[in-house]
Amino acid sequence: MSNISYCKPTASHPEAQLDPAFGTTKGNRSSRLQPLVSFLAKLSPLDVNATLLTTFHLLLAVSRLSSGAPFFVPLTPHEIIPSFSELPHRTSSKVLPLQGEGSRRLGPVNFGYYTNSLDLQGPISSYGEDNLLQSSLTAKELVLDVLKKRATEVDVDHCGPGEEDAFYVADMGEVYRQHMRWKMNLGRIKPFYAVKCNPDPEVLRLMAQLGNGFDCASKSEIDLALQTGIDPSRIIYAQPCKTKSYLRFAAEVGVKQMTFDNADELYKIKATFPDAELYLRILTDDSTSLCRLSMKFGASMDMARPLLELAYQLELKVVGVSFHVGSGAEDPSAFLKAVTDARMVFDQAGEVGHELHTLDVGGGFCQDSFEKFAGILGEAVDTYFPPHIRVIAEPGRYYVATAYTLAANVIARRDIPDPTDPSRDAYMLYLNDGVYGNFSNIIFDHQHPIAQVLTCASEPGTPNSATSEKITYSIWGPTCDGIDVISEKIDLPGLLNTGDWLYFEEMGAYTKCSATRFNGFSDNHEVIYISSETGASALLNY
C-alpha cells in the first residue's frame, strides 16, 4: 500500500487509470499521497454483500479478496475537495480500482466532503480503536465548522419567522464508526437497530446498507423499516404486548419475528398470526439502568416453563429468548445474569419440544462503557451458547447519541444577581428550543445536555468576549411552562446576548423523536447531514 500513488481525474481523463507497474497514473505522474483509514467502496451485489462491506477494512492487509476482486483506492480529498467555505453540503469524488488480472472498473462512487478524516503513514491493516477515536475527534471539529457556517448565515434582525429555529448537524460517519466499533467488539452479535431511539430516515437508510436489522414496536416503525427496502426477515416486532390490528399488519407484510411475555399474548397471536416466530422475553435486573423496563415487560423465571408449555399446546413456534437490561444500563453484570437465565430457558424449551435457534440480548449499550459491557457480554454468550445459535441485539442510543449536535438560538436574556454571589451579575438565557422540543431527553431519558458557546457577538478582547472570565447563566426553553429549563446553572465564557448561538453535543437519542408542539412551537427542525467517513458516504451516495 505504501507504494501506491493517487491521481485526481482531469477534464480530459476523468477516469485516469493506475499503472500497477509504477503505482502512478498512466500519462499523469502525481505525487504520492497516503491512503485513508476510513475506507469503503460501494461495490455491486456481484462483488460483495452488505455484511462483507461492513468488515471490508479488515481485508486491507492482503493483496486481494478471495474472490479475486482487487483493492479499490480512494482518491485523496486534499487535492480534490476545497475548503468547507467553498462547498455545498454535499460533493463527490471517485474510487479507482487498481488494474490487474481479474479487475473491474466501477462507476463513480460518491463520498461526503469530509473524506479526509484521518490519514495514516504506511500500510493499513485494521480499523483499530485508536483510529476510531482520532477520527471521531477530527469529525467533531468538522461538525463545529458546519454549525458555525449555518448559524452565521442567519440574520436574526431581518430573517423570516422561524429561520433562526434550532437545527441539527448529523454526522453519518459517526454512526458508521460506531458500527465498526461494534464489529470489533461484538462481531458475533448482529445489531437490530432500535427504531424508537431515532427514526430519522437517513439513519435507517444507513442501517439497512450496513446490513443491520430493525427492532420495531409499532406499525409505523415497521413501515419506516420496510421503506428502506429490506426484507421483512430483518425486522423483529419487539413489543411483548401488541395491538391486534398491528399484528394483522405484521402478518400481511411478513414480519414474523416477535416477542411475548404472557399467556394472553399467546392466545392473541394464535388467533391473529399463528405462523409467527416467537421469542420469550424474560425478566432481568435493570435496577441500575437509566430507563427501567422490567417493571413493564418480561416473564419471571417461574413463569417461563408454563408459557413455553402453553405455546407448545397452541402449536405456536417459539424460536428464541430475549431480554433487555434497560436503556442506558450501568451494571455490566446484569448481562451476565441475563445470559445465564436465557440458557436455562433454552434448556427448558428443548425439554418441552421447541427448537430454539436465536438469543436476543436486547439493548442498554452506552458510548462510555461499551467496551467493558461488550467484553462481559461477548464472553458470556460464547460460554453459554454454541456457535450455531444466532445472537442478535437491539442497540439504539449506542449508534446515534453522539452523531447529532443541536444548535439553538438565544431569543431573550434577563439580568439577575448571581444566586451564590449577589455582588456578581448572572443571566437567564431563553432559547428557541426546550424540554417540550428536542430537549425532551431531559424529561424522558434522564439526560443533562451541556451548553457550549457556538457564536458570541461580543468583540474579541473586550471584557464581554467569549475568551474572558466565565459568567453564570441559567438556560430556559421558549414555552410558558416553568419546568421548561435546560440548565439551572452553568458557567460560560463571555457575555451572551440575544442572537447568539449555543450548541449541545450527543443529542441523537430520544430527542427529536419525542418532541412536541406545545405552545405552538415546531417539532420539525432542520437536519444537516454530513459524513466524516468515506464508508458511510459511499453507502449513502453522498
Which one-letter DSSP state was computed for residue 160? P
| Identity of residue 163 | E
Return d(Cα 318, Cα 316) in angstroms, integer: 6
Listed in sequence order, the residues at least 6 apart from 233 whose beta carbon sits closer than 8 Å to its beta carbon are 254, 256, 257
Over its C-alpha atoms, the chain yields an Rg (Å, rounded) of 26
Q: Bridge partners of 529? A: 170
Listed in sequence order, the residues at least 6 apart from 283 whose beta carbon sits closer than 8 Å to its beta carbon are 294, 298, 299, 300, 301, 323
Return d(Cα 183, Cα 390) in angstroms, integer: 15
In the chain, the largest separation of any two C-alpha atoms, in whole Å, equals 79
Return d(Cα 516, Cα 131) in angstroms, integer: 39
In 234-303, the DSSP E strands lie at 235-237, 257-260, 277-281
Catalytic residue among 291, 366, 456, 480: 480
Distance of CA 350 to the CA centre of its chain: 36
The CB density around residue 246, as the number of other CB atoms within 10 Å, is 20
DSSP assignment of 372-425, as one string?
HHHHHHHHHHHHHS-TTSEEEE---HHHHGGGEEEEEEEEEEEEEEETTEEEEE
Catalytic residue status for 480: yes
DSSP assignment of 186-250, as one string?
-TTEEEEEEGGG---HHHHHHHHHTT-EEEE-SHHHHHHHHTTT--GGGEEE--SS--HHHHHHH
Place of cell 458555525: 148
Return d(Cα 478, Cα 426) in angstroms, integer: 19
The C-alpha cell that represents 519 in the structure block: 405552545
Closest by CA to 239, choosing from 81, 403, 362, 113, is 362
Closest by CA to 270, choosing from 303, 296, 307, is 307
Element (H, E) at 145: helix 129-152
Catalytic residues: 480
